[in-house]
Amino acid sequence: MKDFKNKNILITGGASGIGKLMAQEFLKRGARVIIWDIDEAKLNAVKEDLSVLGNVDVYRVNIADQENIKAAYVNVMNDHHKVDVLINNAGIVVGKYFHEHSVDEIRCTMEINAYAPMFITHLFLQDMLKINSGYICNISSSAAMISNPKMSVYAASKWSVLGWSDSLRIEMKKLNKNIGVSTVTPYYINTGMFDGVKSLIPILKPAKVVAKIIRGIENNKPIISMPWSIHFVRFFQGIFSVRIFDWFVGDILGIYKTMDEFKGRS
């Protein structure tokens, strides 16, 4: 999708972090932006901040609640009639060993990170199919490719997004539909969500992440990975034994220690 002018772009989790930055960049390109977020104070603030750039509409939505998703979908369609680009960006992380998680933490992580993108897309995709036009961008994670201590549930949710999202892309291609699908698999991003993470590999700057996501959508790129080295993960998993891969990724690169001092967003 090369031209965003006058397109309706819906971003979940768009009141802060890369969601807010994406909204800002799309507005600069002449799009109309629709933001879903659970934080009402941040929604009001982002609307005030970004309205000077163009048309911004905000909706308080709890995407862990399927009925709330359905109600928000109806409101968006009543107000805007269609969504041209859907960006499933909202997500949470609980940095604990698996045995330390509560059942509620497991359920909530899966509901927000894995189930919600599918439920939301299932609604808006029906309308895209009717007009044979649209774009869906799903924010997964490099954790969808590399297992990591203290990220077991988060990794599970993001593996789910990657598998579902890329399958959806292939389905749209097989059905010869004019509906693009991109899956984003970034390394840690410096937005506050992963505060406390220590990494030899540089933590990504939000502005660069957003620029790459938008370029990926413009070029209908199936998988948008960053940094570039993430592209080689599957290759190395294929040629190395698990023991050697663990040694290289865990001991040499230190990936398996990155969450040791995790604090997260306050």
Round to whole Å and give the CA distance between 100 and 138.
Answer: 28
Q: Which listed CATH number (3.30.56.10, 3.30.70.20, 3.40.50.300, 3.40.50.720) goes with 8-257? A: 3.40.50.720
pLDDT of residue 1: 74
**Can you say whether residue 264 is alpha, beta or left, with left for phi > 0 and alpha for psi between -120 and 50 degrees?**
left
Strand partners of residue 88: 138
H helix or E strand, kind and range, residue 85: strand 85-88
pLDDT of residue 58: 97
User: For residue 112, what is the DSSP state?
Assistant: I
CA 255 to chain centre: 21
User: For residue 91, what is the DSSP state?
Assistant: -
pLDDT of residue 210: 96
- For the chain, give every domain's residue range: 8-257
pLDDT of residue 266: 58
Round to whole Å and give the CA distance between 259 and 3.
Answer: 39
pLDDT of residue 200: 85
Which sign does the torsion angle of CA 82, 56, 208, 95 carry? negative
CB-based burial of residue 47 (10 Å sphere; 0-12 exposed, 13-18 middle, 19+ buried)? middle
Indicate which residue of 154, 187, 188, 256 is catalytic.
Answer: 154
Could you confirm whether 154 is annotated as catalytic? yes
Round to whole Å and give the CA distance between 254 and 249.
Answer: 6
User: For residue 204, what is the DSSP state?
Assistant: B
SS3 state at 185: strand
H helix or E strand, kind and range, residue 57: strand 56-60
Which sign does the torsion angle of CA 164, 219, 141, 71 carry? negative
pLDDT of residue 67: 96
Q: What is the dihedral of CA 199, 186, 164, 151, to 10 degrees?
A: 20
One digit per residue, the tens of pLDDT, for the chain of length 266 reads 778 999 999 999 999 999 999 999 999 999 999 999 999 999 999 999 999 999 999 999 999 999 999 999 999 999 999 999 999 999 999 999 999 999 999 999 999 999 999 999 999 999 999 999 999 999 999 999 999 999 999 999 999 999 999 999 999 999 999 999 999 999 989 888 888 888 888 889 999 999 999 999 999 999 999 888 887 888 888 998 999 988 988 889 888 888 878 887 75
